[in-house]
Amino acid sequence: MSFLDQLNPQQREAVETTAGPVLILAGAGSGKTRVITFRIAHLIENLGVMPEAILAMTFTNKAAAEMAERVDKLVGGLSIAKPVISTFHSFCVRVLRRDIEALRIPSTVPGQPPIGHTKNFVIYDEGDQQSVLKSIMKRLGVDDKQLTPRIVLSRISWAKNHMLGPQELYLQSADPKTEKVAHLFEEYRKELRRANALDFDDLLLESVRLLKTSAPVREYYNRRFQYLLIDEYQDTNRPQYQLMRLLVGDRHNVCAVGDEDQSIYSWRGADIRNILEFEQDFPEAKIIRLEQNYRSTQNILQGASAVVANNIRRKGKNLWTARQGGARIGFYEAPDGENEALFVADSIARYVREALDRSEDPRAAVLYRTNSQSRLFEEAMRRYGLKYHVVGGFSFYERSEIKDMISYLKVIQNPDDSISLLRVVNTPARGIGKSTIEILERLALETGLSLWGSIAEAIRRELLPPRALSSLKSFRQLIEDARAMQSGRFAEQMEASAEDKPEPHISASSQPAAHDEPVSNETSFDPNEFGNFSFDFGAAAENPQESHGDGLPQPTNEAGTSNLDKVVPGDNARGPVLPSTADILKFLIDRTGYIKLLEEEDTPEAYSRIENLRELVNAAMDSRDRGETLDAFLDHAALISDADDYDERAQVTLMSLHAAKGLEFPLVFLSGLEEGLFPHSRTLLQPDDIEEERRLCYVGMTRAMDQLILTRAVYRRRYGTDMPEASVPSRFLEEVPVGLIEELGNTRSRAATSTSRTAARTSSAYGESTHYSYEDEDQSSSWQEGSRGDGRKRQPGGPKTRTPSPSTPYNSIDNIAQFFASRGKKFTVSRPPVEEPSGKRGFRPGQKVRHPKYGEGTVYQREGEGEEAKITVQFPRFGLKKLVEKYAQLERA
């Protein structure tokens, strides 16, 4: 029996139509990933295609990794060679690292090196881009208020996504503002070229340019890749589209998979025309529709379809499911954002417990339009002792100590990277201050050198006071020593490759990088050339609340102390040692005294930073074990994305709607359904933007397998301290057919809020009968205890459950229980017992405690009396925190 028998007829057709262009219109939940992976497996297994001749493009590393894993399972280690499954951006980086120098042009000045990027280019992230623009705008005296670096950057990015250069932008500019942007764009480009840096958009654009202009390069890839697959085709932009055309060549073996109803990235340049006009691009194209949804119940699917049916720009489709009926779509209207979050947490706590009792999938997702909404949900999850995982937000790489070290590495890879150099030249402080920097920058401007070049020049010509000069000398020595470590590695490679000609470079900073052979005339391909990234990085440091699935303790690098011994200097145990990225990092940390200074600081924050640095060194060691060089390590760090840290083992996942694309959960909450929030206020004016918001809503709703609950807050605070504002229900709520909706929650309170909103806010009816309130401290802390106690051994109906009387302030919970009960899931309305207050009160200095967010810590001091007492606790990872005992859910550890 063939594995193809597992597919439905349409899926099977999609898998077996391997010659020529194919467009697969795959509705939500219709087995898109399955089709792609089976198609790859079919090519390899049944048609004998060489794995390395297959290229599949995805949007996130996570999706690529998952796809690779699934293909691996199907093909079962038939061959060491693997198909290339990669994100567009990662793929482009590999292409450019290999051949970008084919784009260089000879200098007009004889004897000068060619102009253009070299293969040791660095990647600039958004922060780097902003720094570049900021300094340009300062230099040119551009008014910061009308035109912020942020705005300019987004306009530049817009231009790039539409494949416009500064000149084109200038020519079609109709206003002085755009003219200015065009000018800044030009300067920005110069600056990046000088720094030998590329931004994210450039990765795509330069790859396109490379394939367009260099026939040998193009032919190399055309020969190598015979089959091309593109996931999420509806979200490709023009450069990606062109890249596809160039890679496909005239063979036209391309398979694009997408769903126009899930196009949610137009603001990033995604061009919905790409999918709508596929048939024009490839007249011989075969179109296959996958319309059977295997994920959701009929109610959910109907609701979602009804919403998206309000869009005009779509092909239209008929999604159906065999899962007739199902739970109705819940709707809960909360008085405010806090209550909304508590409602969600309460429902999830209940759901998780129940699902575990029945050995069902206990995962739930909370989706929101804006990341800032996550805070309230996080607090609520902690209240309920739920293990949750937040996707996105502040990542490991955004921490300052990590950025510092990464910047050092970038400078070592490419000293002309002036942005990174500026970041580290005085980090830690070594007496190179503002005035010194200003002189260097002026010198750079006069001479056309990079900052790195200017440092040498300033030292040579003794243009600075002796003090500054000696500081600069020691900095330069540091970088050069580190670079020398690097070149040991390169020297060896150079021996291997024959006719290599190290070229002089403007500031003598170009690495004597080993050239691959010229691009043409290769007959065999290195299967590892496009090796996929792996993603075991940073997660542990990020969120101590992170779940590990079944609630059982897992062998993780918790709190990191176990990693300590891995980082001791002189870790040469793993065989003949060439200097690796890890070695360089250790060298840097040692020479700069970075950790030593942190230790001297002797604050808990400092120790947490040290911990992060160790984590970074560990990551570098893993990178070394994978055989990666410095640039691969840095590429990885630059291209890892928020969506990549989604952990499918977490019971509760909090994330933006965008990040949820491609995922599915038994229970989904779609929150903040308010005009101005979702749809977002910045989209209300253009009809096209509203359609995209609606697609986003569709994406969110179709993530749900069994249960979908929509929520909204009547009052919402926009900023931390401002007065809450009354909201208008989202239009999307009205677009869901009434018959599919089940209202949840306390109707009385809702009536009160809608009839007299301001009165309700202050009246006791509002304040006290609010079902979920942060002020009700007994309730929440006892819930906390209860669910934590249940965490490992879940005892259904044990002593920890009781049914509240109808008079408890939990009206709405009764209602939810009924709601769940009505769909055949029996939910006991449970409420953990109220604990004796004396049992856990009164922490004393020296005592070990556990905090839901900060983990274990030691009480440092106690101020005040009773439950008003403030206790200061030292947490190894988070430092000293002053907590009001009444509110902090501290436990004895």
Partner DNA sequence: CCCTGGTCCCAACTT
Partner DNA sequence: GGGACCAGGG
Q: Catalytic residues, which ones?
A: 32-33, 231-232, 262, 703
Residue 643 within binding range of DNA, rule CB under 7 A: yes
Binding residue for DNA (CB under 7 A) from 366, 659, 668, 817? 659
Binding residue for DNA (CB under 7 A) from 298, 534, 641, 828? 641
Residue 653 within binding range of DNA, rule CB under 7 A: no
Measured from the CB atom, the residue of 293 and 543 that comes closer to DNA is 543
Cβ neighbours of residue 631 closer than 8 Å, sequence gap 6 or more: 97, 120, 413
Residue 682 within binding range of DNA, rule CB under 7 A: yes
Which residues from 686-725 bind DNA, rule CB under 7 A? Answer: 689, 718-721
Q: What is the size of the binding site for DNA (CB under 7 A)?
A: 47
Pairwise CA distance, residues 576 & 418, whole Å: 34
Pairwise CA distance, residues 767 & 760, whole Å: 8
Q: Is the dihedral of CA 596, 600, 601, 606 positive or negative?
A: positive
Pairwise CA distance, residues 433 & 442, whole Å: 15
Cβ neighbours of residue 484 closer than 8 Å, sequence gap 6 or more: none
Q: How far is the CB of 149 from DNA (least distance, A)?
A: 8
What amino acid occupies position 414? N
Q: How far is the CB of 370 from DNA (least distance, A)?
A: 4
Q: Which two tokens stand for residue 161?
A: 């996504």
Measured from the CB atom, the residue of 104 and 268 that comes closer to DNA is 268
Q: How far is the CB of 10 from DNA (least distance, A)?
A: 29
Q: How far is the CB of 433 from DNA (least distance, A)?
A: 2
Residue 656 within binding range of DNA, rule CB under 7 A: yes
Binding residue for DNA (CB under 7 A) from 172, 213, 372, 562? 372
Picking from 510, 525, 370, 393, the residue whose alpha carbon sits closest to that of residue 453 is: 510
**In degrees, to the nearest 5, what angle opens at C-alpha 82 toward C-alphas 76 and 85?**
110
In this structure, the strands spanning 329-336 and 848-851 are unpaired
Measured from the CB atom, the residue of 245 and 375 that comes closer to DNA is 375
Binding residue for DNA (CB under 7 A) from 110, 318, 434, 524? 434
Residue 593 within binding range of DNA, rule CB under 7 A: no
Binding residue for DNA (CB under 7 A) from 106, 112, 126, 502? 126
- Specify whether the CB–CB gap between 399 and 614 falls below 8 A: no
Residue 101 within binding range of DNA, rule CB under 7 A: no
Q: Which stretch binds DNA (CB under 7 A): 519-527, 666-674, 676-684, 700-708?
A: 676-684
Residue 311 within binding range of DNA, rule CB under 7 A: no
Residue 658 within binding range of DNA, rule CB under 7 A: yes
Measured between alpha carbons, how far apart are the two ends of the chain, in Å?
56
Measured from the CB atom, the residue of 69 and 126 that comes closer to DNA is 126
Measured from the CB atom, the residue of 12 and 89 that comes closer to DNA is 89
Residue 60 within binding range of DNA, rule CB under 7 A: yes
Measured from the CB atom, the residue of 22 and 122 that comes closer to DNA is 122
Which ranges of 292-417 would DSSP assign to H, the alpha helix? 298-308, 337-357, 374-383, 400-413
**CB neighbours (10 Å) of residue 202?**
21
**CB neighbours (10 Å) of residue 268?**
14
Cβ neighbours of residue 828 closer than 8 Å, sequence gap 6 or more: 354, 796, 797, 801, 803, 817
Measured from the CB atom, the residue of 261 and 742 that comes closer to DNA is 261
Picking from 570, 14, 579, 539, the residue whose alpha carbon sits closest to that of residue 257 is: 14
Q: What are residue 85's phi and psi, to 5 degrees?
A: -120, 115
Residue 392 within binding range of DNA, rule CB under 7 A: yes
Residue 135 within binding range of DNA, rule CB under 7 A: no
Binding mask 161-190 for DNA (x = CB under 7 A): ------------------------------
Residue 416 within binding range of DNA, rule CB under 7 A: no
Q: How far is the CB of 240 from DNA (least distance, A)?
A: 10
Q: How far is the CB of 395 from DNA (least distance, A)?
A: 9
Measured from the CB atom, the residue of 167 and 435 that comes closer to DNA is 435
Q: Which stretch binds DNA (CB under 7 A): 19-27, 682-690, 740-748, 840-848?
A: 682-690
Binding mask 63-92 for DNA (x = CB under 7 A): ------------------------xxx---
* Alpha carbons within 13 A on the beta-carbon side of 516: 19
Which residues from 138-157 bind DNA, rule CB under 7 A? Answer: 150
- Specify whether the CB–CB gap between 710 and 698 falls below 8 A: no
Q: What are residue 516's phi and psi, to 5 degrees?
A: -75, 170
Task: Give the distance from CA 511 to its chain's centroid.
Answer: 31
Picking from 534, 550, 705, the residue whose alpha carbon sits closest to that of residue 636 is: 534
Binding residue for DNA (CB under 7 A) from 515, 680, 850, 870? 680
Which residues from 814-833 bind DNA, rule CB under 7 A? Answer: none
Q: Which two tokens stand for residue 414?
A: 């490419």
- Specify whether the CB–CB gap between 453 and 419 falls below 8 A: no
Residue 406 within binding range of DNA, rule CB under 7 A: no
What amino acid occupies position 832? P
Measured from the CB atom, the residue of 613 and 677 that comes closer to DNA is 677
Tell me the C-alpha to C-alpha distance, in Å, between residue 87 and each of 56, 640, 892: 8, 10, 46
Q: Which stretch binds DNA (CB under 7 A): 369-377, 403-411, 509-517, 778-786?
A: 369-377
Residue 436 within binding range of DNA, rule CB under 7 A: yes
- Specify whether the CB–CB gap between 31 and 294 falls below 8 A: yes
Binding mask 268-287 for DNA (x = CB under 7 A): x-------------------
What amino acid occupies position 594? Y
SS3 of 608, please?
A: helix
Residue 639 within binding range of DNA, rule CB under 7 A: yes
Measured from the CB atom, the residue of 70 and 369 that comes closer to DNA is 369
Q: How far is the CB of 379 from DNA (least distance, A)?
A: 7
In this structure, the strands spanning 227-230 and 254-258 are parallel
What amino acid occupies position 77? G
- Specify whether the CB–CB gap between 240 and 258 falls below 8 A: no
- Beta-ladder partners of 677: 680
Picking from 299, 326, 507, the residue whose alpha carbon sits closest to that of residue 414 is: 507
- Specify whether the CB–CB gap between 405 and 613 falls below 8 A: yes
Residue 762 within binding range of DNA, rule CB under 7 A: no
DSSP letters for 247-295: HHTTT--EEEEE-GGG---GGGTB-THHHHTHHHH-TT-EEEEE-EESS
Q: What are residue 202's phi and psi, to 5 degrees?
A: -60, -35
Residue 430 within binding range of DNA, rule CB under 7 A: yes
Q: How far is the CB of 392 from DNA (least distance, A)?
A: 5
Measured from the CB atom, the residue of 6 and 372 that comes closer to DNA is 372
Residue 552 within binding range of DNA, rule CB under 7 A: no
Q: Which stretch binds DNA (CB under 7 A): 76-84, 520-528, 677-685, 744-752?
A: 677-685
Instruction: Report the phi/psi class of residue 330: left, alpha or beta, with left for phi > 0 and alpha for psi in -120 to 50.
Output: beta
Residue 370 within binding range of DNA, rule CB under 7 A: yes
Q: Which stretch binds DNA (CB under 7 A): 262-270, 295-303, 628-636, 853-861?
A: 262-270
Binding residue for DNA (CB under 7 A) from 106, 431, 502, 864? 431
Measured from the CB atom, the residue of 600 and 868 that comes closer to DNA is 600
Q: How far is the CB of 138 from DNA (least distance, A)?
A: 9
Residue 43 within binding range of DNA, rule CB under 7 A: no
Q: How far is the CB of 884 from DNA (least distance, A)?
A: 12
Q: What are residue 34's phi and psi, to 5 degrees?
A: -60, -45
DSSP state letter for 77: S
Measured from the CB atom, the residue of 233 and 490 that comes closer to DNA is 233
Where on the chain is the footprint of DNA (CB under 7 A)?
59-60, 87-89, 126, 134, 150, 200-201, 264, 267-268, 369-372, 375, 392, 394, 426, 429-436, 468, 639, 641-644, 655-656, 658-659, 680, 682-683, 689, 718-721
